[in-house]
Structure 1
Amino acid sequence: MLDPKKLLDDLLGSKIPGTETTVREKAGQAAQMARDNPLAAGALAAVLLGTGPGRKVTGAAVRLGGLAAIGGLAYKAYQNYKNGQQPADAPAPAEPELLPPPAGTDFHPSQAPQGEHEFALMLVRAMIAAARADGRIDDEERRKIGERLAASGMNSEAEEFLKAELAAPLDLDALVASARTEAQKVELYTASRLAIEPDTRAERGYLDLLAGRLGLPDELVDHIEATVSAAKTTPASDATGTAPNPRW
């Protein structure tokens, strides 16, 4: 049975069970790791979908888990916006404090009107849609991804879900409509921004379109951008000038 909460954790680069590394840090060994440790197979999603943009979320987000991390980041950005702060009021620390959204607020997963399962699925779809925004996942790349999914040992439900999402045309209307509250709109954009570094016009254009369709004020979007950027770190390979893991 597909577990969207686990898949969401995997898309954020969660640690592989029994190790101190993330899939993004071991992209070249992903398929072999999945065969050796089937419990980690779901974490291949980030690599197979090409969502490792050269930066990764910090350990704080990984430790919280996907739903709580996205909710925490969205809540922090929203509170800063509501309090009238400026996105660049203070320099970001090396690893900013990240807390889960407070219980009882609309940002807490338990408050999702559609339930946590469907809410997590919405965020996974948002991340996949963002990863596809540059249009580089064509028929040939989908075929290659399918081959790697089949070899990875990922459970069949997750494999079929990812294949279907990659093959289906983007339905932005449905994605936007899936966010039922103001908080969920902020979280949907936050998840999308976490999935990519918008370093192409297509990616930046997609995020701008998404923000507009969600009705997010520019100032709030600026806070989300600043909060997400502070929650990402640049791998050592980037600092030395080595290119990030390529897409297959």
Structure 2
Amino acid sequence: MSRPLVTVVTPTKGRPEVLVERALSSVARSEGVRVQHVVLGDDCPFLREEANRRELAERFPHAEFVHVAPEDHPADASDYLPARLSRLRNAGIARARGAYVAHLDDDNAYTPGHLRSLVDALDAEPGAGVAYSWRRLRTADGVPFVPDGEDPWHPIPARRADSYDSLRRHGVFVPGSDVVRDAMRVVDGKLLSRVDTNELMLRRDVHARIPFPTEYSLWQRVLETTEDMALCQTLLEQGVASVCTGKVTVDYYMGGFSNAAAIA
């Protein structure tokens, strides 16, 4: 079996090193592929120091560590966090050498077979430009997190129950389950683009053509549109075919930007 090269992109800033190392270790344990892990420190205090970058590179030879200084962002760039993350992710994509590009947040982790399962899904569907998996929810302590009738990613608290019920009908949420069965498709004329960044893999040529959006309207900011949702919407609008592995291969730890308020 061939072992294709997959590029994994991870932006980071102020996470404790132990979380970043968990992400790095999970990529290093990937089976059936070779990996290039691009870690971009956005004025990250730890990765700002060359000695720290060098020490990590010695421990994780599959990874390269890039310090992104404040002046590396465009002078007129938006401070909206998803826009900033989009710029970082696109910088990582530009460094990709692999035929496939995947993404991993600095506080989440892959199972060993995650990347290979996505490659296999794309190999089985030559017309698909993107593949994705499902994710298992965890608290910061690693305990299973089960959404209790509310969608923790909906920005409006009063609408979280309705959002959960709608996504339950579409099979994304299953009562009593800590697994989110994400989907990227059009339902009733609307875009159902719930695929999380950590689950995604794109062919590199597709990603070069369709990077993460860096411009967000006022309405998108009000709705707290994240960069992965914006990307998935763009992929759907441009007719890029997708395939789902139907496998739970991402450990997603709650408490990040998109859901912190819901679990506080």
TM-score (norm 1): 0.32
The higher relative CO (CA closer than 8 Å, separation ≥ 6) is in 1
- Bigger fraction of residues in helix: 1
Q: Relative to total residues, which structure has the larger strand share, 1 or 2?
A: 2
TM-score calculated relative to the size of structure 2: 0.31
